[in-house]
Structure 1
Amino acid sequence: MTSAHSPLIFITGASSGIGQALAARYARAGYRLALVARRTAEIRAWADAQGLDERRCGVFGADVADVDSIVAAGQACMAQMGLPDVVVANAGISIGMDTGVREDIDVLARTLAVNNTGLAATFHPFVDAMRQRGSGRLVAVASVAAIRGLPGHGAYCASKAAVVAYAESLRGELRGSGVKVVTLVPGYIDTPLTRRNRYAMPFLMKVDDFADRAHAAIEAGAAWRVIPWQMGWVARLLRIMPIALFDRLLAGRPRKHRQSEA
C-alpha cells in the first residue's frame, strides 16, 4: 500500500522502454511515481491500466532537451508530490550519424541536448534540496556504448561517455552529503529503441529483468553497475583492447539507422 508518506521516484523518459519498466518495478516496491515524458497521454493510459491513480502516480509533461521545460517539471513535482527519494535521468535518444552529412550535425546537437544537458537539468531542481535533507539517489542512465566509439554511432557514444564522466564528477561533488549518484550502464535491452538495430546484440536482456537488477543497484546505492553482468566483462575487454585490433573487429559492422533512414 502507498500513501502520501511513501517514498517517491521521479523518472524521465517514462512512456516506454526502460523508464516504463522501472516505473512498474518501483510501483511494486510501494513507491509513488512522478513520471515525465513528452507523451503524457500515453503515461496516464499506462498508469490507469496498472491501477495507479493520481495519488500514486503524477504525470508531468516536459521536453528534456529544453532546460526550462524539464526544470519546471521537477519543480512541479516537488510542489505537488514532495522531494523525491530517487531521481532517474533515463530519457535519451539514439540516432546514427555521418559527420559528412550536414543534417547529421544537427542530430549530434540534439543528442547532446537530450542525453547530456537534459540529464543535468533533470537533476538540477533536486540537488540542493536532497543535500539539505541529507539523502537521495540521483541515477544517470548511460550505456556500454560509452566505453569505445563505434562507427556510425558518434553522437550516441559521445553522449553516453559524457554521461559517465558527468556522473562521476557529480558523485565527487556530493560525497559526504548523503546523496548517492548511481551510474547504470545497460548493455542491449529489449526495448523499442533497440528492436530496429541491424546488428547482433549479444546478451540481449528482457526489459523487466533489467528493471529488477537496476532496482537492486539503485537501492544499494551502487556507484556503477553494468547490466547484464556479462556486458561488464565485454566492457573490460573493450577498455584494454589495442586500437588496431578494435578497428579490425569493427570493420564492416552494420551502422545504426541515421535520421533520414528512420
Structure 2
Amino acid sequence: MSAAPPLVFITGASSGIGQALAAQYHQAGWRLALVARRTDVIKNWAEARGYSASSYEIYSADVSQPDSIMAAGRACIARQGLPEVVIANAGISIGMDSREPDDIAVMAQVYATNNVGLAASFQPFIAPMVARGSGRLVGIGSVAGIRGLPGHGAYCSSKAAVISYCESLRGELRASGVRVITVNPGYIDTPLTQRNRYRMPFLLAPEEFARRAQRAIAAGGSYCVIPWQMAIATRLMRLLPDALFDRLAAGRPRKRRQGE
C-alpha cells in the first residue's frame, strides 16, 4: 500500500494567510488539518474549491484558550496522525494606547493569542515529533517584531516575543531532528492589514506569500522574511540609531484601536 500524503496542521485557517497556506499545501498534495473558531467558514471554503472530504479535517478551537488549542492538536494526532509540519499562524492585531485603562486588557488579549496560543499550538506535537525524530514547527512572526512602532505596542511586542520564543525552542530541540522555523511576513493583503491607515510597501498577495512560505519551510532554514525586500528594510531599521528611528516613526499613522 502507498504511504498517505504528508499532513500539515494550520491554525487561523479560516482567512488570510492561514487560508492561503491551506490552499498552497493542498495544491502540493498534502493532507490538511485546519483549525479555527469559524469552522463553518473553512467548510464552505473547502467545499467551494471541490476539496475531497478525505483530504482535510477541520478542528474547532480558540487559540487564545490553551486547553482548547491543545485539545485540537491531540484530536488531530488521533484522527489523522502526527503532522510533518505544524504552522502556528493564528494571530490578532489591535492598536493600543497605554494611557487608556481598557487597552491593557487589549494587550493581554493579543498576547493570549499571539504568544501563549502559539506555544500551546506546538505543545501537543513536540514530544511525538521528538520521538519520531522529525517534524517542522513553524511560527508566523512579523517584520513588526523587529522594532516597536507608536500605537503598535501590543502587536509589535507580541511578534518580537514570537521571534524570541521560536529561537529559544529551536535551541531546545536542536539535536532532536525537529526543526523550528520562524517566518516573518511583511505586508500581506489580508483582512488583518486592509484596515491599516498607513502605506504598506512591498505588499504581497496572500497566495504569493503562501507559495514563498511553503518553499522556505521545505528548505528548512531557521528564519526568513517574506518578501526579500522587507528583509533588507528590517536590517536597515535595526541599524538606525534610536534617536533617528524615533523621529521617523513619530509622525506615522497609528494602528486602529479596538472599536475604532
TM-score by length of 2: 0.98
Amino acid at match of 1:169: S
1:52 matched residue in structure 2: 51
2:19 matched residue in structure 1: 20
Number of paired residues? 259
Deviations 1:215-255 (A, max 9, x none): 00001111001000000011101111000100110111110
SS in 1 for 2:115: helix
1:224 matched residue in structure 2: 223
Displacement of 1:177 in angstroms is: 1.1
2:150 matched residue in structure 1: 151
Find the aligned partners of 1:88 and 1:182 in 2 and give their Cα distance: 9
1:108 matched residue in structure 2: 107
1:121 matched residue in structure 2: 120
Find the aligned partners of 2:207 and 2:81 in 1 and give their Cα distance: 27
Amino acid at match of 2:101: R
Amino acid at match of 1:194: T
Find the aligned partners of 2:90 and 2:55 in 1 and give their Cα distance: 21
Deviations 1:119-159 (A, max 9, x none): 00000000000000011000000000001000000000010
Displacement of 1:4 in angstroms is: 6.9
Find the aligned partners of 2:15 and 2:154 in 1 and give their Cα distance: 22
Note the aligned Cα RMSD (angstroms): 0.9
Deviations 1:163-197 (A, max 9, x none): 00000000011112111111000000010110110
Matches within 5 A, 1:32-51: 32-51=31-50
Find the aligned partners of 2:250 and 2:99 in 1 and give their Cα distance: 19
SS in 2 for 1:160: helix
Find the aligned partners of 1:177 and 1:218 in 2 and give their Cα distance: 18
Amino acid at match of 2:115: N
Amino acid at match of 1:188: Y
Displacement of 1:55 in angstroms is: 1.4
Find the aligned partners of 2:218 and 2:29 in 1 and give their Cα distance: 13
Displacement of 1:260 in angstroms is: 2.2
Matches within 5 A, 1:1-262: 5-261=4-260
SS in 1 for 2:191: coil
Deviations 1:35-57 (A, max 9, x none): 00000000011111122233111
Point out the more displaced range, 75-84 or 48-57.
48-57
Find the aligned partners of 1:43 and 1:199 in 2 and give their Cα distance: 30
Amino acid at match of 1:220: A
Find the aligned partners of 1:136 and 1:166 in 2 and give their Cα distance: 18
Find the aligned partners of 2:108 and 2:250 in 1 and give their Cα distance: 26
Amino acid at match of 1:38: R
Find the aligned partners of 2:163 and 2:23 in 1 and give their Cα distance: 25
Q: Give the unaligned 5+ runs of structure 1.
A: none
TM superposition outliers: structure 1 runs of 4+ over 6 Å = none
SS in 1 for 2:79: helix
**Percent sequence identity over aligned pairs:** 65
Deviations 1:11-53 (A, max 9, x none): 0000000000000000011100000000000001111112223
Deviations 1:66-112 (A, max 9, x none): 00000000001011000000000000000000001111100000000
